[in-house]
Chain A
Amino acid sequence: MNTTQTLLASLLAAGLCVGSAFAETRMWTDVQGRQVNASFVKIEGDNIVLQTADGSFHQFALTRLSPEDQAIAKAAKPVESVTASDSSPQFLANATVSQAAAKVDSLVVKGLVKANPERAKAGKPPITGWNQPANDEQFVRRVYLDIAGRIPNYDEAYSFIKSSEKAKRSQLIDQLLDSEGYKTTLYNYFAEMLRVKNEFEADNVRGTPYIGWLKEQIAMNRPWNEMVYDMATATGKMWDKKPDGTYNGAAGYLLRDSGMPLDNLANTLTVFLGTDVACAQCHDHPFADWTQKQFFEMAAFFGATTTRLNGKDMGGTDPMARLMTGIEPLVAKAGLDIKTIRNGLQNYIRANQNAVKDRAMNSTKLPHDYKYKDGKPGDPVEPKFVMWSPEDKGNPAYKQSKKDEEKLRVSFSNWMTHPQNPRFAMTIANRMWKRAFGSAVAEPVTNIDDPNNASNPELLKHLASEMVRVKFDLKQFMRIVYNTRAYQSEATSENIVMGEKYFFQGPMLRRMSAEQAWDSYMTLVLGKPDGYKAPLQDLYAKSIDLNLETVDPQTVLIKYDAYRKIQAKERALMGGGLEMAGGDMMMEEKASKSTKKSEASVMNDGPGKVLTYQGMSLMRASEITQPAPNGHFLVDFGQSPRMLIDGSNKIGNVPQVLTIMNGKAQKMLTSPDSLIFRNMEAVRDPSEKVERMFLTIMNRKPTMNEKDIAKRVLGAGEDGYANMIWALINTREFMFVQ
């Protein structure tokens, strides 16, 4: 059998219907009044073919339908078979997850077949099919790490492995997609992609409301196009409160790069549209078609926007002078020396000038060193969208008004997030695919200007159309991806060299990300790490916010005092020890939720204690300062410093290995107080203890050989368990995701 036949055979064996296509469903009624919800496929002779939601086809005599439905069927257009419209696979709205996953798999298979000639040239053996299906132990660990960002705890791993439920994998995927872990993991991904930070460049400006906003959007499963639209079009301060009670955190996207609007634009195009134009910021792009002029034409959409308000933006008067004149006598009256606090106060007030505002004039000009023939330095620049191909001219995404200079950002965002924008859906689909497989269909994800360069261009296009079909519902998109046979295969064990195309015979083997490693440690310590949240999220926004046009000096002083107390308050909330972890001893919500809060009582809310171990706050990575403080486990493990897009690394280094071998986190796991030991205490027999230890740390049972090793080790002395825990956590198997 040749390779193609083998592949197709394995596909059929897996019960995947490559040839199915899906029309809209309706309720069909037969002559006896019985009803079925199905979509029309075709009429064949005297028979009708319908497809039900589970994907199966049903053929029966047309006359069995009610007369009205017979008429409808006769008028309906048959759905074209997929083989006929192979090049542009079309899905209609009601494809089930398993159907959609099957379609993706069929395209992966085609890519695998096509890959072999190229592999042969590189001296690599042909791919004969998917990797082996991952076993339950491999699957449960991977799917927890990928979706929930951590390894499963003992109960979670054990119950999945022993379950004989046929659909347990798709059920677990559904369950995890609805878990807290899904939110925190997707947040980590976007925080890295968007370079989210707690401390912005300007004094006292924290990313807290931006971080909060991102987490809320993810929790609501807000469609991606809407999220991006909000970020690009937000106006005002991050801590402005909106009518629905939420904060205007979306403004954080532009404020993050306050003072660097061109860099911000370059990042916008790179992150959301997969086009790397950073070079064109300074000169014509050497390896792409983008010119410097085009870059500035794009920048012109933000040319009327400021991220730092001046007096003119705030009613024409200088609020600083007004407030300081009022504040100084108050300070003197309190017996304080204004000299020691003036600078701090001014910085505090100035933080409120960090706001996004559209002015009446687009002020974009060509740079002073512009050297091309199509313009002179200092020439004003009109906004204009880039095109990737001549066909883009007729694309509806491009039909945006550019007249109103105060609304240029809106036009830009309408264009960028339009379902038919040539790159928007493709970029996020490609990125989401990479999250599951470790490699994108088109690499690098920051530059997909030429989709035909992808390892599997048909797959890339299909994923983009799927992203549109699910209406940018990222959770639904990922549900499809995780349900593919391709994803549920074993990790690829062959070495993949940089720059080599990857064809998705299974996911790539990957080292855990810094966040996955930390959150897995947290799982080993806390069992269920999601109950522990960062305190005081709200406090910052409340105490920093001043309406500079109306606020009075007295209020400024009161709020400044509250603001300065936040840190002391945050420190006070760190407490609780290891022994409090894992059980029902979750943080207790303080019951001080009075409905009416005065300015002065901003300190009185927020949750209770956070558990700590030798100075480390035991919480998910997403709850810790972004990026984590210097010297933190996360930093040693390559967490992004949040300076560059996708700035993390998974490379080993000496401090990292020292941390795993000798660091505080290690001590915590091998201490008798650790949850691993407490899991083991539930059983008495040493071999059962060893099995629990393996299931807790590695999410698999020990092999015969490992049981023998354990027996030997336990025979040798007291520290046997601690030594084994240490050893398991230090294995490559622990640190790499299969």
Chain B
Amino acid sequence: MKSELLRLNDANRRQFMLNTAKTVLGVTLLPGLSSKMAKAAGTSGPGTPGFGKAKHVIYLWMGGGMTHIDTFDPKEGATKGFGDRIKAKAEGIDYLGGYLPKLAENASKLTLIRSMTSKTGVHEAGTYIMKTGYEPRGTIVHPAMGVWGSHFLGRIKDVTLPDSVVINSGSAYPGAGFFPPAMSPIPISNPETGLQNIKPTTSDSQFAKRIGLMNEFDTGFRKKFQSEDVKAYSEFYDETLKLMKSEDLKAFDLTLETAETREKYGKSNFGQGCLLARRLVESGVRFVEVQMGGWDMHTTIDNSMTNNGNTLDTGFTALLLDLEAKGLLDSTMVVLGSEFGRTPDINENDGRDHYPLAYTTVLAGGGAKRGFTYGASDKEGRRPADKQTSPSDFLATIGHAMGLPVDEVVMSPSNRPFTVGDKGVPVVDIFA
């Protein structure tokens, strides 16, 4: 909305003078800034494998730091966890952790990146890096992936729904980053209740009366103050009223699913969040993040994994099968990530601690290979042994699948240059 853009008051005026309004609002200036990106330029872009295949992305976020050894990169020997690994039913994947039997059964839909490595073992910083590619700074906020999508691909069409949604969180942070706040994902704290405050507290007819009264009482003020700010605010009322009446809202209503379907995803917030993500994607939403907590397993990891493993196993598997059944898995990429892995050695509290040096991410659908392992950690899961992959590369891979120009430099309003995922190189090997 143009009126919001006008409110970017904090742009440095001198810099503002030096640039056209266009660049201030975040438009590409300098493609291909570094040599590393030149390398990327040959491997990404229209026509390259997998580029733009993912019309939708569902990012399953494992908050707290998911143990890699007990889930997608099981080890025998010194660092083996409490559970036994199980054989994965896929040509390109050997084993999964014993807590994930359903995923092992359906491993032929998965691609694993087992050579992830990051720089920090701090939750907030690790999370930020895995969602933006950038290290957190006190002087700028970088956009989340869905917002990059909105920037390059525009607003989703034909629906009143938001471009991106975050489920199981009250916060969309880092949200729009330096882009206009209106591009921020909409947070849904609870998949059962959907959009907060979407229903009037009175009957529809009384609500209509109230709206009418509001406009009557406000006539004088709106006549006197015809500024963009006031108009923009009125536009939000119009947009909200439109949304309240919209058929599209049904996308948020899980009660429209059969009891059987809801059961399949599991009764957890994560499971129901996955189901909501599927409904949203089906209705056109571009980027959905589904959060699941409980991964910070410093103590008695066997217990915690039994619970969390089952929740993840059930929800993730149901999502993949459901997307496939609906013919959406080719156009929807489901990715799974976490801020870091966990220490290969079991600690004195029978748990594992923060470990950014080696961990695993998962991709499925949206053009990714089916049943494939990319890279590897060493024998004990301590370091990447092959094809080391950074959070930036991981995000560039997602950006590539979404069809974003990952090497394009975009200037923030404060005139600093940024790219999707911070100059990562898409891992094109994972695309079919």
Interface residues of A, Cβ cutoff 8 Å to B: 195, 201, 257, 260, 263-264, 266-267, 270, 276, 278-279, 281, 286-288, 338-340, 342-343, 443-444, 446-447, 449-450, 453, 491, 493-499, 509-511, 629-631, 635, 638, 641, 643-646, 649-659, 661-663, 666-667, 670, 703, 706, 709, 713, 719, 723-724, 726-728, 730-733, 735-736, 738
Asked, given contacts A641-B173, A654-B243, A661-B197, whether A723 binds B210 with beta carbons under 8 Å apart, the answer is yes
Among B138, B196, B221, max chain A CB count under 10 A is at: B138
- For the complex of A and B, the 9 pairs showing the least CB-CB separation, nearest first, are A630-B170, A263-B138, A652-B236, A727-B213, A733-B221, A631-B170, A658-B197, A278-B139, A731-B218
A288 CA to B228 CA in the complex, in Å? 32
Are A649's CB and B7's CB within 8 A?
yes
A443 CA to B14 CA in the complex, in Å? 9
Specify which of B9, B180, B210 is in contact with A727 (CB 8 Å cutoff). B210
A498 CA to B226 CA in the complex, in Å? 16
B4 to chain A, nearest CB (A): 5
A392 to chain B, nearest CB (A): 20
Asked, given contacts A266-B139, A511-B233, whether A339 binds B186 with beta carbons under 8 Å apart, the answer is no
Q: Which residue of chain A has the shortest Cβ distance to B173 in the bound complex?
A: A641
A727 CA to B208 CA in the complex, in Å? 11
B358 to chain A, nearest CB (A): 22
A131 CA to B181 CA in the complex, in Å? 32
Are A732's CB and B6's CB within 8 A?
no
Q: With an 8 A cutoff between CB atoms, is B349 at the interface? A: yes
Are A495's CB and B226's CB within 8 A?
yes
Are B232's CB and A652's CB within 8 A?
yes
Are A493's CB and B171's CB within 8 A?
no
Instruction: Report A-chain residues with C-beta under 8 Å of the C-beta of B18.
Output: 287
Are B213's CB and A723's CB within 8 A?
yes
Q: With an 8 A cutoff between CB atoms, is B30 at the interface? A: no
Q: Which residue of chain A has the shortest Cβ distance to B139 in the bound complex?
A: A278
Are A654's CB and B240's CB within 8 A?
yes
A-B contact count (CB 8 A): 220
Are A195's CB and B14's CB within 8 A?
no
Are A498's CB and B214's CB within 8 A?
no
Are B197's CB and A655's CB within 8 A?
yes
A653 CA to B185 CA in the complex, in Å? 11
Are A267's CB and B349's CB within 8 A?
no
Q: With an 8 A cutoff between CB atoms, is B350 at the interface? A: yes
Asked, given contacts A340-B349, A493-B226, whether A723 binds B218 with beta carbons under 8 Å apart, the answer is no
Q: Which residue of chain A has the shortest Cβ distance to B349 in the bound complex?
A: A339
Q: With an 8 A cutoff between CB atoms, is B29 at the interface? A: no
A508 CA to B224 CA in the complex, in Å? 13
Instruction: Report A-chain residues with C-beta under 8 Å of the C-beta of B9.
Output: 443-444, 498
Instruction: Report B-chain residues with C-beta under 8 Å of the C-beta of A652.
Output: 232-233, 235-237
B130 to chain A, nearest CB (A): 17
Instruction: Report B-chain residues with C-beta under 8 Å of the C-beta of A629.
Output: 170
> Hey, what's the 0/1 contact readout for B401-422 against A, CB within 8 Å counting as 1?
0000000000000111000000
Q: With an 8 A cutoff between CB atoms, is B12 at the interface? A: yes
Specify which of A278, A630, A667 is in contact with B140 (CB 8 Å cutoff). A278
A339 CA to B348 CA in the complex, in Å? 7
Are B234's CB and A732's CB within 8 A?
yes
Instruction: Report B-chain residues with C-beta under 8 Å of the C-beta of A738.
Output: 225
Asked, given contacts A339-B349, A724-B213, whether A654 binds B236 with beta carbons under 8 Å apart, the answer is yes
Q: With an 8 A cutoff between CB atoms, is B327 at the interface? A: no
Q: With an 8 A cutoff between CB atoms, is B189 at the interface? A: yes
A447 CA to B124 CA in the complex, in Å? 29
Residue pairs across A and B with Cβ atoms less than 8 A apart, 8 shown, are A263-B138, A509-B225, A511-B233, A644-B139, A644-B140, A651-B180, A663-B196, A703-B220
Q: With an 8 A cutoff between CB atoms, is B141 at the interface? A: yes
Instruction: Report A-chain residues with C-beta under 8 Å of the C-beta of B298.
Output: 343
A444 CA to B169 CA in the complex, in Å? 33
Interface residues of B, Cβ cutoff 8 Å to A: 4-18, 122, 124, 137-141, 162, 169-171, 173, 180-182, 184, 186-187, 189, 195-202, 206, 209-211, 213-214, 216-218, 220-222, 224-230, 232-237, 239-240, 243-244, 298-300, 348-351, 414-416
A169 CA to B224 CA in the complex, in Å? 25
B281 to chain A, nearest CB (A): 20
Instruction: Report A-chain residues with C-beta under 8 Å of the C-beta of B189.
Output: 630-631
A444 CA to B17 CA in the complex, in Å? 13
Given contacts A629-B170, A670-B201, 19 further A-B pairs with CB under 8 A are: A279-B416, A281-B139, A287-B15, A339-B348, A339-B350, A446-B10, A498-B5, A498-B7, A498-B11, A510-B229, A630-B189, A631-B170, A651-B232, A655-B196, A726-B213, A727-B213, A731-B218, A733-B218, A736-B233
Are A499's CB and B16's CB within 8 A?
yes
Q: Which residue of chain A has the shortest Cβ distance to B7 in the bound complex?
A: A651
Instruction: Report B-chain residues with C-beta under 8 Å of the C-beta of A444.
Output: 9-13
Are B213's CB and A713's CB within 8 A?
yes
Q: Which residue of chain A has the shortest Cβ distance to B175 in the bound complex?
A: A641
Specify which of A497, A498, A499, A709 is in contact with B213 (CB 8 Å cutoff). A709
Are A659's CB and B197's CB within 8 A?
yes
Are B138's CB and A266's CB within 8 A?
yes
Are B214's CB and A727's CB within 8 A?
yes
A266 CA to B416 CA in the complex, in Å? 15
Specify which of A278, A339, A667 is in contact with B201 (CB 8 Å cutoff). A667
Specify which of B7, B13, B199 is in contact with A453 (CB 8 Å cutoff). B13
Are A657's CB and B240's CB within 8 A?
yes
Are A511's CB and B229's CB within 8 A?
yes
Among A260, A278, A631, A654, max chain B CB count under 10 A is at: A654
A88 CA to B226 CA in the complex, in Å? 39
Asked, given contacts A644-B141, A713-B213, whether A499 binds B225 with beta carbons under 8 Å apart, the answer is no
A653 CA to B3 CA in the complex, in Å? 12
Specify which of B184, B221, B224, B415 is in contact with A731 (CB 8 Å cutoff). B221
Are A731's CB and B181's CB within 8 A?
no
Are A663's CB and B236's CB within 8 A?
no
Are A643's CB and B221's CB within 8 A?
no
B8 to chain A, nearest CB (A): 6
A200 to chain B, nearest CB (A): 10
Are B139's CB and A450's CB within 8 A?
no
Q: Which residue of chain B has the shortest Cβ distance to A723 in the bound complex?
A: B210
Instruction: Report A-chain residues with C-beta under 8 Å of the C-beta of B235.
Output: 652
Q: Which residue of chain A has the shortest Cβ distance to B169 in the bound complex?
A: A630
Asked, given contacts A263-B138, A630-B171, A644-B140, whether A662 binds B198 with beta carbons under 8 Å apart, the answer is yes
A453 CA to B15 CA in the complex, in Å? 12
A657 CA to B211 CA in the complex, in Å? 12
Instruction: Report B-chain residues with C-beta under 8 Å of the C-beta of A645.
Output: 139
Q: Which residue of chain B has the shortest Cβ distance to A631 in the bound complex?
A: B170
Are A651's CB and B4's CB within 8 A?
yes
Are B186's CB and A643's CB within 8 A?
no
Specify which of B139, B236, B300 is in contact with A653 (CB 8 Å cutoff). B236
Are B218's CB and A342's CB within 8 A?
no
Instruction: Report A-chain residues with C-beta under 8 Å of the C-beta of B181.
Output: 638, 649, 651, 653
Are B213's CB and A443's CB within 8 A?
no
A645 CA to B197 CA in the complex, in Å? 30
Are A661's CB and B240's CB within 8 A?
yes
Are A719's CB and B206's CB within 8 A?
yes
A631 CA to B189 CA in the complex, in Å? 8
B206 to chain A, nearest CB (A): 6
Specify which of B124, B224, B299, B414 is in contact with A339 (CB 8 Å cutoff). B299
A77 CA to B212 CA in the complex, in Å? 69
A714 to chain B, nearest CB (A): 12
Instruction: Report A-chain residues with C-beta under 8 Å of the C-beta of B211.
Output: 727, 730
Are B214's CB and A730's CB within 8 A?
yes
Are B14's CB and A450's CB within 8 A?
yes
A476 CA to B5 CA in the complex, in Å? 36
Are B199's CB and A662's CB within 8 A?
yes
Are B7's CB and A723's CB within 8 A?
no
B390 to chain A, nearest CB (A): 17
Instruction: Report A-chain residues with C-beta under 8 Å of the C-beta of B16.
Output: 499
Are A723's CB and B209's CB within 8 A?
yes
A26 to chain B, nearest CB (A): 46
Are A201's CB and B122's CB within 8 A?
yes
Instruction: Report A-chain residues with C-beta under 8 Å of the C-beta of B17.
Output: 499
Are B11's CB and A343's CB within 8 A?
no
